[in-house]
Amino acid sequence: MPKALQLVYIPYKLEMTGAAELKPLRVAFIGAGTANFGSSDGFVSGESLGAWNHAARLEQLPGIEVTAIVDPHTKLAAYRLKKHQHGKHASKWTDSAIFSSYKAMLESEARPEAAIVGAPSDVRGGCDDPSCTMELDLAQAGIHMLVEKPISIKGIREVQALSQQLQQLQEAKRLVISVGYQMRYLPAVEAILQLLAEHGKPIAAVLGRFYGVYNCNRRAYLWDEQVSGGIIVQQATHFVDLMRYIGGDIDPASVVAAAVGPGYPLSETELLAPEGEAPVPFDRRSNRVTTAAWHFQGGAVGMLVHSKVLHERSYFTELEVLADGLHIILEDAYNSPKAQKAAGYQFYVPPF
């Protein structure tokens, strides 16, 4: 089983200035969009995405000082900053600055010690294209990072090269670098792993279902495979990671997939126009339904079904684990995650 990504919260740095003095950790947000600041305002169309809002969570932590917001859309960044400077945790944002590029930030007095990287995936996640080396540049500068998924939409060889270079910098500079696959750390998932360990028999199958909605999704880049990497890379990646976390590494040669493409009509896309899918060229539009099956290296099989055809306003997610004499179900991983054995015996319902 792959080792869990290590999430480390360092609330204070300790400097010796004659006596021990606690200093706040200097943090910057790269990206003023949905991932870092949510979307329940006038700048981003569509429904509120309260689950995606790093700033709202970070400012509640002790020992934090926000030094900067970086975004080429500086008006949006300034709006975000003003909102937080007049909020409940205004003191965390007092000296925050706005930058149009992370490189300008690194050369300024606002240079942080840690960054939450929520910039679009098409402007980062690379090591060949100089315009997409954000993570490498930050690591070279000694900046700790929480990087939003997907880590990249580049080709697999470039992503592998990037990961190797980041690992070298991480070790050399003693950095904390993590990717935002938070489902690994759900108490319900921890309970599943504990039950599997106690059961003591190998996993036979891990099955995932992720059914998304589309009729409130106005952000064109999520409909554009060239920009987002596709719906599996951009959205179902959480379940792929979780399935690997439980089932182990996948045998790449065993993967087979099939999809229902953009030719399948969605009745409510016209209601989103001129936003949503409307401005995206047909050959770049995302699939409606995708299925994939594979072997894990440990011998178990995996299967994922993802769709974006529903009209409701919440996801349907379910993950099943099968072993000799055991059937585990993880329900509603996004909203109220519950883990249970088959036949309805609930063994973990978290206070989420």
pLDDT digits (tens, 9 = 90+) for 119-145: 999 999 999 999 999 999 999 999 999
The answer to whether residue 108 scores a pLDDT higher than 70 is yes
CA 52 to each of CA 34, 94, 149, 285: distance values in angstroms, whole numbers, following the listed order? 6, 23, 12, 24
Percentage above 90 pLDDT, the chain? 76
**HSE of 37, CA atoms in CB hemisphere, 13 A:** 23
**DSSP string across 326-350:** EEEEEE-TTTS-EEEEGGG-EEE--
Question: What's the pLDDT at 249?
Answer: 96
Please list, in sequence order, all residues whose beta carbon lies within 8 angstroms of the beta carbon of residue 282, skipping any fewer than 6 positions away: 262
pLDDT range class, residue 349, cuts 50, 70, 90: low
**DSSP string across 274-320:** TSTTTTS-GGGBPPSEEEEEEEBTTS-EEEEEEEEEE-SSS-EEEEE
pLDDT digits (tens, 9 = 90+) for 171-209: 999 999 999 998 999 999 999 999 999 999 999 999 999
CATH for the 183-348 domain, from 3.30.360.10, 3.30.710.10, 3.90.245.10, 3.40.50.720: 3.30.360.10
pLDDT digits (tens, 9 = 90+) for 39-57: 654 333 343 445 679 999 9
Question: What's the pLDDT at 47?
Answer: 38
Distance of CA 266 to the CA centre of its chain: 26
Buried b (16+ CB within 10 A) or exposed e, 55-92: bbebbeeeebbbbbbbbeeeebbebbbeebeeeebeeb
Average pLDDT score, the chain: 88
3-state secondary structure string across 163-217: HHHHHHHHHHHCCCEEECCHHHHCHHHHHHHHHHHHHCCCEEEEEEEEEEECCCC
**Which CATH architecture best describes the domain 12-180?**
3-Layer(aba) Sandwich (3.40)
Question: What's the pLDDT at 46?
Answer: 40
Domain boundaries, given as residue ranges, for the chain: 12-180, 183-348
In angstroms, the CA 72 to CA 52 distance is 20
pTM, 2 dp: 0.83
Q: Could you check whether 12-180 and 183-348 share the same CATH topology?
A: no
Question: What's the pLDDT at 314?
Answer: 74
The answer to whether residue 352 scores a pLDDT higher than 50 is no
Task: Please name which of 341, 304, 327 lies closest in space to residue 212, comparing C-alpha atoms.
Answer: 304
